[in-house]
Amino acid sequence: LKEQYDVVIIGSGGAGLVSALQARELGLRPVILEKMPTVGGNTMRASSGMNAAETNIQLREGIVDSFAEFYQETYQGGGRLNDPELLNYFTTHSGQAIDWLRSHGIILNDLTITGGMKKKRAHRPKSTAPIGAFLVNNLLWLLDQVGVPIFTQATVTELLKDDAGKIKGVNVQVAGEPKTIFAPAVILATGGFGASKQLLKRYRPDLLAYKTTNHVGATGDGIILAEHIGAQVLQMEMIQIHPTVQQDTPHTYLIGEAVRGEGAILVDQQGVRFTNELGTRKVVSEQITALPEQAAYLIFDQGVKERVKAIDFYASKGLVVSAATPIELAQKLQLDPTVLADTLIQWNTAVETKRDVKFGRTTGMQRKLEKAPYYAIHVAPAIHYTMGGLHINEKAQVLDQSGNIMAGLFAAGEVTGGLHGNNRIGGNSIAETVVFGRQAGQQAAVYLA
Q: Where do contacts with ligand ADP occur on this chain (CB under 6 A)?
A: 10-16, 33-36, 41-43, 155-156, 189-191, 217-218, 221, 413-415, 433
Say whether 324 sits in a helix, a strand or coil: coil
- Nearer to ligand ADP by C-beta: 42 or 51? 42
State the residue number with the nearest CB to ligand ADP: 13
CA distance 112 to 107: 15
Q: How far is the CB of 91 from ligand ADP (least distance, A)?
A: 18
Q: How far is the CB of 33 from ligand ADP (least distance, A)?
A: 5
- The angle subtended at Cα 190 by Cα 188 and Cα 191, nearest 5°, is 125
Q: How far is the CB of 360 from ligand ADP (least distance, A)?
A: 32
Q: How far is the CB of 275 from ligand ADP (least distance, A)?
A: 28
**Is the omega angle on the peptide bond into residue 373 within 30 degrees of 0, that is, cis?**
yes
Kindly give, in sequence order, each residue whose CB lies less than 8 Å from that of residue 311, ignoring residues fewer than 6 positions away.
259, 304, 305, 320, 375
- Nearer to ligand ADP by C-beta: 238 or 333? 238
Q: How far is the CB of 178 from ligand ADP (least distance, A)?
A: 13
Q: Are 337 and 343 in contact (CB under 8 A)?
A: no
- Nearer to ligand ADP by C-beta: 234 or 296? 234
What are the catalytic residues?
Answer: 281
CA distance 218 to 192: 5
Q: Are 206 and 180 in contact (CB under 8 A)?
A: no
Q: How far is the CB of 8 from ligand ADP (least distance, A)?
A: 10
Q: How far apart are the first and last CA of the chain?
A: 24
CA distance 29 to 303: 48
Q: How far is the CB of 43 from ligand ADP (least distance, A)?
A: 3
Backbone angle region of 239, left / alpha / beta, with phi > 0 → left and psi within -120 to 50 → alpha? beta
- Nearer to ligand ADP by C-beta: 96 or 152? 152
- Nearer to ligand ADP by C-beta: 15 or 111? 15
CA distance 34 to 11: 5
Contacts 24+ apart (CB under 8 A), 170-177: 170/8, 170/10, 170/33, 172/33, 174/1
CA distance 332 to 42: 33
For the chain, what is the radius of gyration of the CA atoms?
A: 22
Kindly give, in sequence order, each residue whose CB lies less than 8 Å from that of residue 96, ignoring residues fewer than 6 positions away.
none
- Nearer to ligand ADP by C-beta: 65 or 414? 414
**Cα pseudo-dihedral 79, 81, 85, 88, rounded to 10:** -10
Q: How far is the CB of 35 from ligand ADP (least distance, A)?
A: 4
- Nearer to ligand ADP by C-beta: 96 or 155? 155
Give the Å distances, CA to CA, from 384 to 29, 103, 207, 365.
Answer: 34, 31, 11, 26
- Nearer to ligand ADP by C-beta: 41 or 184? 41
